[in-house]
Amino acid sequence: MAQSPTTIVDELGIAPANLSDAATGAFTPTLRLGVTGLSRAGKTIFITALVHNLLTGGRLPGFTALAEGRFIGARLAEYPDATIPRFAYERHLEALTGRVPVWPDSTRQISQLRIVLKYQSKHWYSGLRGPSTLNLDIVDYPGEWILDLPLLGLSFAEWSAEALERAHRPGSGKEAKPFLELLGSIDPHKEANDSDAEKLAAAFTDYLRRSREHGALSTLPPGRFLLPGDLEGSPALTFAPLPPSEQARSSSLYAMLEHRYEAYKDRIVRPFFHDHFARLDRQVVLVDTLRAQCRAGCSGGSRDGTDGSAVLLPAGREQSAAAPVHAQNRPDPVCRDQGRPCASHQPRPAGGDPQPAGGQRQQAGALCRGGD
């Protein structure tokens, strides 16, 4: 039976944090906007363009206050949490609008940026107090991290069963074969040892990476296996799914990997959920639509079921209706495997592509696997 993704302790911890957010926003309300998507989905470009257009009063037809002439202006401000890295807006803008535009660096860790919006409220009674102000806190983080949240409700046995079932599917055979062969050669009931654990974790990580690159299943957890950062090589990232075992000894390899899986949830996934995800008010999820088109046009179809959409989802404390957000488009895509234009993509006429921040066309060798 699946476990609850949150415990009573989690809820008791989240509630004071939310109350603290509300208290600090008593005079200036704050909206926390999460922006995520798998690697190469366009998170960095999306945030840079959004902030640039807010600061310059640019093209944001979906922003009602701007469309109705009630938007006064915006400015960058100091983010209240000094322990979270700042989103490098200025550096990314310079990269996109330089004489030779280049893709910004991909998102590898969580970052944040606060932008203060000033506008005239459409309600007459609010207008009596003068212009209104809103703190927009943008939180950027790798989409691979969000893939781990369902693990909070799964035991090691349940996750292993799901992971192995996916690995045995016909569409995953090529990517999963080396891992499954290694798994079949190791007895999970044998005495625990780091050598076997490291071999299994390395083979499983390679399977996840190959699945993402080749499009078999690009949304497989654990997400940190693909973006480990400072955790690379740690025991919390050195485990893999195993066949079911009802009588595994406490000193067995099975027990070791089960313990490490639980440590991964408790030390990595749960803190991210508690400290960041649960405190978001809205969540933007970006999907690389052109990469999906490349797979469909050059590989006979996308095997991971990507639908080529991006949406603004309710998250954290608020649960309002979702609204669509347009994904990042990139000119002249080239299929990564074949090195030729996608058969499914017809380039737009000159002037038809969306422009990046600063009005310059994106000319950074836009591939279907292009920068984040």
Burial classification of residue 195, based on how many CB atoms lie within 10 Å of its CB (0-12 exposed, 13-18 middle, 19 or more buried): exposed
| Long-range Cβ contact pairs of 95-100 (< 8 A, separation 24 or more) | 96/45, 96/48, 96/356, 96/357, 96/358, 96/360, 96/362, 97/356, 97/357, 97/358, 97/359, 97/360, 100/363
Q: What is the pLDDT of residue 64?
A: 86
Parse the chain into domains and list their residue ranges.
10-141+280-359, 152-273
Q: Are 134 and 71 in contact (CB under 8 A)?
A: no
Length of the chain: 372
**Per-residue confidence in pLDDT tens, the chain, 372 aa:** 445 555 555 555 544 554 454 444 457 899 999 999 888 788 999 999 999 999 998 888 888 888 888 899 999 999 888 889 999 999 999 999 989 989 888 788 899 999 999 998 877 665 566 788 999 999 999 988 888 999 999 999 999 999 999 999 887 888 999 999 999 999 999 999 999 999 999 999 999 988 887 654 556 789 889 888 778 889 999 999 999 988 889 999 999 999 999 999 999 999 999 988 999 999 999 987 776 666 555 544 433 333 444 445 555 433 333 333 333 333 333 333 334 344 444 333 333 333 333 333 333 222 223 344
Q: What is the pLDDT of residue 288?
A: 77
Q: What is the pLDDT of residue 105?
A: 80
Q: How far is CA 58 from CA 118, 229, 310, 312, 362, in A?
A: 15, 36, 21, 20, 17
